[in-house]
Amino acid sequence: MHKHILFVLDYYIPHKGWSETVFEAIISRLFAKWYTITILTSRFDQELPAYEGKENFHIYRIGKNRISFMFFALCKGIRIFKKHKDISLIHTSTYGGAIPASILGKFFHKRVILTVHEIFWRLRTRYKWWFKGIFYRVLEKIIFWFPYDAYHCVSYYTMNSLRMVYGISDKKIKMIYNGVDASFRNPQEVSAADIQTRKNKYGWNNRFVITYYGHAWKSKGLDYLVRALPELVVVDAQLLFVFNLIDSKRTEYIKKKIRKYHPVKDGASLWSSVQIFDSQEKNDLRTLIASSDIIIAPSLSEWFWSVHTEAAAMGKPLITTYIASLPEVVRGNVKFIAPSSRREIIQAILERDQWIWNPEYIIWSKEFSRNTTVKELIKLYH
């Protein structure tokens, strides 16, 4: 097989997100193995160039977001194929790149691999505003109506959901876990002095630090965590929220909810027990995680998410829910709680001394190597 792959991705770096990080890790390793890489993605920031590249590496950007990219990517893809006639394979991902990639594959007689992160189906209308939920639910159904030559699922949960909901043939499905940057998420990479400096700066000394970080989407279960705050701020805990600002409206909504549950009382604000940080650079986020005592991620739906696996790589106790792929991928000191349960969030934190480092709550080590991910993908390419 000639090693020139076209990636059709609705978002790619410098757009911030877990999927973008996953594909950046895959693409960089393929490039290091002498693959020629062409990326067709959205121009979500109009200051980004429409084209940038070098020998054997090209990035083309079109459209302003995921939706506009779906419509413009097809025409741009045709021009790319006319220019790069040696493209041998298309690799795409749910959601915005899938349909144009499938059409391009049929038009130019190229095999298409679809990476499937998660099947939402009816969960769409539960976790999104009803009109938007219906739109994405229909879009998901249309995506899987289009043909693909292989389906790369990132967990067994995703694989089984794909089989049951859309009836995809087992012969076309391949499960390959995403890789986690365990070397970067190594707690030994953060010094005790860095942690102490962070605690001194924000007043966390002698406080039990509980951290949520990631998106503010409804499927992350933040609403229940926020409702639990009034009972948590009185247990000498410091609660941190670190938001990825992909959805600014939803993030602002959650911030308002936090303030709603923390009114000024008797002239003294409870706000000091809760701190909010907007997007952190990678090194700063690693230090913040290392400075925390517990990571909490009360998700309502997940595929293979960075927060949970990164917390495990950092050796931090984790409170999360027993839904979707999470029991499959998390490791280390984990306390599972029921989804949508404010009461169980509170109970898990109040009873932390009973489960932190208790052997009954230790899940044996699981490794998710990025090199292994790429090795298995190359087998799939061939």
Q: Could you read off the pLDDT of 265-293 as tens digits, one per residue?
A: 433 344 468 888 887 888 888 899 999 99
- Identify the structural domains of the chain with CATH numbers, from first to last: 4-181+369-381 (3.40.50.2000), 187-363 (3.40.50.2000)
C-alpha angle with apex 244: 116 to 152, nearest 5 degrees? 10
Q: What is the DSSP letter of 215?
A: -
Cα dihedral sign for 353, 357, 360, 365? positive
Give pLDDT tens digits for 35-50: 999 999 999 999 999 9
CA-closest candidate to residue 18, choices 264, 282, 232: 282
**Cβ atoms within 10 Å, residue 161:** 20
The span from the CA of 243 to the CA of 308, in Å, is 15
Indicate the residue type of 367: E
Q: Check residue 266 and give its pLDDT.
A: 38
Rg (CA), the chain: 22
Contact by Cβ (8 Å): 274, 266: no
CA distance 85 to 8: 16
> If 0-12 CB within 10 Å is exposed, 13-18 middle and 19+ buried, where does residue 293 land?
middle
How long, in residues, is the chain? Answer: 382
pTM: 0.84
pLDDT digits (tens, 9 = 90+) for 155-203: 998 999 999 999 999 999 999 998 887 777 778 888 999 999 988 888 8
> How is residue 303 written in tokens?
């595929």
Q: What is the pLDDT, as a whole number, of residue 171?
A: 95
Q: In the structure encoding, which two tokens stand for residue 285, read together? A: 């986020």
Averaged pLDDT for residues 68-91: 95
46 burial level (CB within 10 Å; 0-12, 13-18, 19+): exposed
User: CA-based angle 28:32:34, to the nearest 5?
Assistant: 120
The values of phi and psi at residue 149, to 5°, are -85, -30
Least confident of 94-103, 152-161, 208-217, 267-276: 267-276
CB 34 within 8 A of CB 44: no
Tokens 């790369």, residue?
A: 152
Helices (H), the chain: 18-32, 66-83, 98-108, 124-127, 130-145, 156-166, 192-202, 222-227, 229-232, 248-260, 282-290, 306-313, 326-329, 342-350, 352-355, 370-381
Name the residue with higher pLDDT: 357 or 307.
Answer: 357
One-letter amino acid identity for 102? S
Distance (Å, whole) CA 280 – CA 287: 10
